[in-house]
A and B are shown apart, each in its own frame.
Chain A
Amino acid sequence: MAVAVTLRNRELVALMTVGVLTAIGFATVYIALKSQISNGSLGYAVFFFGLYLVAHVVARRTVPLADPYLLPMAALLTAIGVTEIYRLGPSNAFRQGLWVVIGVAVFSATLLSLHRDYRVLERYKYVFGVTALGLIFLPRLPVIGETINGSRLWIHVGSLQIQPGELGKIALIVFLAAYLREKREVLAQGRLKDWGPLLVIWGGAMLLLFVTNDLGSALLYYGIFLAMLYVATARLSFVAAALGLFLVGSFAISRVTPHVRERIDIWLNPYPHAESSGYQILQSLYSMAHGGFGGTGLGRGIVTGPTGQQIVPDQNSDFIYSALAQELGLVGAAALLLLYMAFVVRGFQIALAATDGFSKLLAAGLSFSFAFQAFVIVGGITRVIPLTGITLPFVSYGGSSVVANFLLVAGLMLISNRANRELTET
């Protein structure tokens, strides 16, 4: 039990550090925007710390042996996000704060309900599979589905905008972990009839690309599938073949779908489209470049014009990276990416430490998806890959994303707790 206490105390100290950083960050923005210091910034940090303290206490009770750095890293990322969201538009920061509260509640509920043995999930794999499909394709439905920036990824329920794909992603990972754990030997033999399910998933991804017009999310789901397939089968040739299929398929679709084709054209050369479809990516690049090495300082960047309109539309959600890169500079942007790298390293260590196939695959899938999603959006913003509108995990404005990522962290902590428990018992 001494190990557990040490781990959780480490978590607490790390969370307290994050709390101090949050207070400093928020005060900086407040001073830059209003030229005055207020207790509000301190109150905000205290509230934020209190929220994570709740999560910490739940973790202490339910998963005492879990990795102590995941929660503080999640806290730091959400703090960076909410601070920048506040800087871009204070009213959104309040709503994002509410979503963090809901996220922490979901996190706690998950730990409380699954800490005895989360592996029961394996039994319901097809439920997860169907749920994933349903959530991912939900935005395509008429009436509730909504097209934003040419991509159909949202649904609206009342005044709420939800990206069900974010939750679908978690369900998909659970399904794939269970499915691949069961079929990995068969799949590794590579008999033709066992390729069926894989072709189905490929077809699904292509269909998704076709109906949502969104290369990025198709790439994200398919990437998760390929990564987990590789972990399960160790057959790089599978992965190469599947990747080839994806490229051929998406190229074909890009020829018949104007929106996808346009996205690719803009990726290759945005400058001729500066006044139209390339406006967002270009202004985002300019915004990022303006920050230079040291950045303008939090709250001191140029994000709105003299009339108050945002220079980069959606800067607080999909494009938050370019706002952060401007205000924190290359130093801050690199630090942010290093934070994602650190998160991935902890995640994969959990996968390595896990003793059963399902846990390994689940931890690998969750960690990979977290990092890969960051890659897809930041890669799009930095023109490494075609741009797509998805959120930067924990940082971007968006409720579904925050909740899904809390689920993800809860999953990793559950797996970590179990792995460490088995380690200490033997």
Chain B
Amino acid sequence: MNKQLRHLSVFVLVLLAVLIGATTYWQTWAKADLAARKDNSVSLIERLTIDRGKILAADGTVLAENRKSRKHGLTIYTRHYPQNDLASQVLGYATDAGTTTGLEQSLDDYLTGANTNLSNTLKDELNRLGGKTVHGDDVHLTLRPDIQRLALDQLGGRCGAVVVLDTHTGAVVAMASTPTYNENLIAHHYPQIAKITGTCGDASALVNNATAGLYPPGSTFKMVTAAAALDSGAYTPSSRFNDPGYCTEYGKRVSNAGNPDQNGPEAFGNVSLAEGFEHSINSVFCNVGMHIGGLKILDYAKRFGFYSVPPLETPPDESAASGLYKYGKHGRSLSTPTSNSEVDSGRLAFGQANMLATPLQMAMVGATIANKGVVPKPYLVQKVVAADGSTVTKTQPQTLGQAIKPETAAELNQMMQLVVQGGTAAGIFPSSLKVAGKTGTAELGLGNVYDAWFVAFAPADNPRYAVAVVVEKQPNGFGASVSAPIAKAILEKLLAR
């Protein structure tokens, strides 16, 4: 029987050796794949044992930090947001259950110290072996909490958004979205928070209106149309128009009377393009649009960043691209016309006809005009600093290209100053604050209820900040009466000595 015994023992040893092989597979080869799986409870809990990095505002104010507790032999770090509702939609949240949104999601690798660099990775692995806590990287944002708070207060109980950009760098100084919510309640009151719809009735506290809110830009879109008209050489600011109170498109009258943004008489008669812009005369822009064609306007819109999701650090799916939208079975989607006949060029020229834009995009338009025609690339993250104090990454301001010539930008700047001095937004800003701006009062097909816009930058002759404000569904509320005062409060605080 000895031969069989030898065979059997070899067989058994092979079986056990197979187990060593299988264990090796799971613990080395498959390790990373398994760790990344969503249903992996071990990974979820491991995340809680990481001292997640802080998120700080531009002035060092802590926006997100951890609370340490020891439970069942585990040291657990739970997220805490000391500023409660200040920048909820931008920061997003990171829950104990492993759900992340906003910057907490897109910067997760930094915050958990996962992708710093090779030497840090090695250090982390050694720390782990030594049973030491992994410390994530701190993220410093460009947001100014005072401006952010002011923007929220100014929006008050209304639905809307405010975006403030540094016109030179593209740094996001403020990005407020209302309705908002206290982030510390997300863990235990998510269902209630998800039900918040705001006073407008169809907003969501969890959605960042500044990047994902798509609104008809109304007359603020005249900045883009005017840019196309001037930059293409088709018009100059002094080009003459006759305004009979309407323009004729498709054989029908498009009347000025329906435009809540316009000020002055219903029919201006003989006016210049600059005056048409100043008083937001739809018939003037309707004629411009029909003359240069919708495709030309859209081409310029693309140069400002329309038709692509602005490259912000928040998760791409929390931002929307601005542009013409069409409505189908599966909701709305971007529409890219290939001929002028597919576009309602006259109405597009004054920002209607299914043109939708985000507040961030409109702020970028303002910042571009302020920045001599160069589109600054918006960013929220100033720098990332490792736990040992070393800088992991630091944002260098970048541009997204030259949208319009510097001369065009200068002409638009002048026209926007007219709006504030004697046009649709006259009498709102003190003469000491030199502002260039454009009002917008977008019709929603809801009667006298409008989305009120104001896009501006200041100081007009040496711009530093661009602001876009939108307030949703305002009954008899216009860009000038509702949103311009918000921009005023913010610009005054920003430029106060």
Question: Do A and B truly interact?
Answer: yes
On A, residues with C-beta under 8 Å from B are 32-33, 227, 230-232, 234, 271, 274-275, 282-283, 285-294, 296-297, 299-300, 302, 304-308, 311, 325-326, 329-330, 333-334, 337-338, 340-341, 344-345, 348, 351-352, 357, 360-361, 364, 367-368, 371-372, 374-375, 378-379, 382-384
Q: B7, B8, B34: which contacts A285 (Cβ < 8 A)?
A: B34
Q: Say yes or no: B1 contacts A344, CB within 8 Å.
A: no
The smallest C-beta distance from A176 to any residue of chain B, in angstroms, reads 14
Chain B residues with CB under 8 Å of A360's CB are 1, 5
Q: Which 8 A-B pairs have the closest CB atoms?
A: A382-B22, A348-B9, A274-B39, A289-B34, A308-B72, A330-B27, A286-B40, A231-B4
Contact A372 B41, CB 8 Å, known A288-B26, A304-B73: no
Q: B17, B25, B74: which contacts A304 (Cβ < 8 A)?
A: B74
**Which of B43-51, B56-64, B364-372 makes up part of the contact surface?**
B43-51
- Nearest to A379 among chain B residues (CB) is B19
Question: CA A136 – CA B119 in complex, angstroms?
Answer: 57
Subset of 12 A-B contacts with CB under 8 Å: A288-B27, A289-B26, A290-B42, A299-B73, A304-B74, A305-B45, A330-B27, A333-B23, A361-B1, A367-B12, A371-B16, A384-B19
Chain B residues with CB under 8 Å of A232's CB are 1, 4
The B66-111 residues at the A interface (CB cut-off 8 A) are 71-74, 76, 96
The smallest C-beta distance from B459 to any residue of chain A, in angstroms, reads 53
The smallest C-beta distance from A89 to any residue of chain B, in angstroms, reads 11
The smallest C-beta distance from A162 to any residue of chain B, in angstroms, reads 27
Q: Say yes or no: A234 contacts B4, CB within 8 Å.
A: yes
Q: B6, B23, B31, B71: which contacts A334 (Cβ < 8 A)?
A: B23
Chain A residues with CB under 8 Å of B7's CB are 230
Q: Say yes or no: B20 contacts A379, CB within 8 Å.
A: no
Q: Say yes or no: A378 contacts B19, CB within 8 Å.
A: yes
Question: CA A136 – CA B290 in complex, angstroms?
Answer: 90
Q: Say yes or no: A375 contacts B19, CB within 8 Å.
A: yes
Q: A227, A271, A285, A374: which contacts B26 (Cβ < 8 A)?
A: A285
The smallest C-beta distance from A229 to any residue of chain B, in angstroms, reads 10
The B280-319 residues at the A interface (CB cut-off 8 A) are none
Q: Say yes or no: A329 contacts B27, CB within 8 Å.
A: yes
Known A234-B3, A283-B40, A305-B45; 11 more pairs at CB < 8 Å:
A230-B7, A234-B4, A286-B40, A286-B43, A289-B31, A304-B74, A306-B96, A333-B27, A352-B6, A375-B16, A382-B22
- If over half of B's interface residues share one DSSP class (helix, strand or loop), that class is named, otherwise mixed; here it is helix
Question: CA A382 – CA B23 in complex, angstroms?
Answer: 6
Chain A residues with CB under 8 Å of B338's CB are none
Contact A291 B27, CB 8 Å, known A283-B41, A286-B42: yes
On B, residues with C-beta under 8 Å from A are 1-9, 12-13, 15-20, 22-28, 30-31, 34-35, 37, 39-43, 45-46, 48-49, 71-74, 76, 96, 128-129, 131
Chain B residues with CB under 8 Å of A375's CB are 12, 15-16, 19
Chain B residues with CB under 8 Å of A299's CB are 73
Contact A311 B42, CB 8 Å, known A231-B4, A231-B5, A382-B22: yes
Q: Say yes or no: A290 contacts B23, CB within 8 Å.
A: no
Chain A residues with CB under 8 Å of B41's CB are 283, 286, 305, 311
Q: Which of B3, B46, B73 has the most CB of A within 10 A?
A: B73
Question: CA A283 – CA B181 in complex, angstroms?
Answer: 35
Question: CA A287 – CA B18 in complex, angstroms?
Answer: 20
- If over half of A's interface residues share one DSSP class (helix, strand or loop), that class is named, otherwise mixed; here it is helix
The smallest C-beta distance from A31 to any residue of chain B, in angstroms, reads 9
Question: CA A272 – CA B430 in complex, angstroms?
Answer: 65
- Nearest to A282 among chain B residues (CB) is B39
Q: Say yes or no: B46 contacts A302, CB within 8 Å.
A: yes
Question: CA A304 – CA B74 in complex, angstroms?
Answer: 8
Q: A289, A368, A378, A379: which contacts B27 (Cβ < 8 A)?
A: A289
Question: CA A372 – CA B41 in complex, angstroms?
Answer: 31
Chain A residues with CB under 8 Å of B2's CB are 352
- Nearest to A232 among chain B residues (CB) is B1
Q: Say yes or no: A231 contacts B8, CB within 8 Å.
A: yes
Q: B20, B26, B43, B128: which contacts A337 (Cβ < 8 A)?
A: B20
Q: A290, A333, A372: which contacts B15 (Cβ < 8 A)?
A: A372
The smallest C-beta distance from A192 to any residue of chain B, in angstroms, reads 23
The smallest C-beta distance from A173 to any residue of chain B, in angstroms, reads 14
Chain A residues with CB under 8 Å of B72's CB are 304-308
Q: Say yes or no: A230 contacts B4, CB within 8 Å.
A: yes
The smallest C-beta distance from A348 to any residue of chain B, in angstroms, reads 4
Question: CA A230 – CA B2 in complex, angstroms?
Answer: 11
Question: CA A385 – CA B41 in complex, angstroms?
Answer: 24
- Nearest to A233 among chain B residues (CB) is B4
Chain B residues with CB under 8 Å of A288's CB are 23, 26-27
Q: Say yes or no: B8 contacts A368, CB within 8 Å.
A: yes
Contact A306 B48, CB 8 Å, known A231-B4, A274-B39: yes
- Nearest to B78 among chain A residues (CB) is A306
Question: CA A368 – CA B5 in complex, angstroms?
Answer: 10
- Nearest to B9 among chain A residues (CB) is A348
Question: CA A274 – CA B131 in complex, angstroms?
Answer: 29
The smallest C-beta distance from A197 to any residue of chain B, in angstroms, reads 19
Q: Say yes or no: B19 contacts A371, CB within 8 Å.
A: no
Contact A294 B129, CB 8 Å, known A286-B42, A308-B72, A333-B27: yes
The smallest C-beta distance from A258 to any residue of chain B, in angstroms, reads 23
Question: CA A329 – CA B9 in complex, angstroms?
Answer: 27
Q: B13, B22, B35, B76: which contacts A341 (Cβ < 8 A)?
A: B13
Chain A residues with CB under 8 Å of B25's CB are 382
Question: CA A299 – CA B12 in complex, angstroms?
Answer: 32
Q: Say yes or no: A275 contacts B15, CB within 8 Å.
A: no
Q: Say yes or no: A297 contacts B131, CB within 8 Å.
A: yes
Question: CA A230 – CA B26 in complex, angstroms?
Answer: 33
Chain A residues with CB under 8 Å of B48's CB are 306
Question: CA A340 – CA B9 in complex, angstroms?
Answer: 12
Question: CA A372 – CA B13 in complex, angstroms?
Answer: 10
Chain A residues with CB under 8 Å of B22's CB are 379, 382-384
Q: A291, A292, A297, A306: which contacts B74 (Cβ < 8 A)?
A: A306
The smallest C-beta distance from A133 to any residue of chain B, in angstroms, reads 25
Question: CA A404 – CA B4 in complex, angstroms?
Answer: 26
- Nearest to B130 among chain A residues (CB) is A297
Q: Say yes or no: A337 contacts B46, CB within 8 Å.
A: no
Contact A287 B42, CB 8 Å, known A302-B49, A348-B8, A371-B15: yes
Q: Say yes or no: B8 contacts A330, CB within 8 Å.
A: no
- Nearest to A299 among chain B residues (CB) is B73
Chain A residues with CB under 8 Å of B73's CB are 32-33, 299, 304
Q: Say yes or no: A231 contacts B1, CB within 8 Å.
A: yes
- Nearest to A357 among chain B residues (CB) is B1
- Nearest to A287 among chain B residues (CB) is B42
- Nearest to B10 among chain A residues (CB) is A348
Question: CA A234 – CA B5 in complex, angstroms?
Answer: 10
Chain A residues with CB under 8 Å of B131's CB are 32, 296-297, 300
The smallest C-beta distance from B198 to any residue of chain A, in angstroms, reads 34
Chain B residues with CB under 8 Å of A384's CB are 18-19, 22
Chain B residues with CB under 8 Å of A296's CB are 128-129, 131
Question: CA A304 – CA B128 in complex, angstroms?
Answer: 18
Q: Say yes or no: B45 contacts A341, CB within 8 Å.
A: no
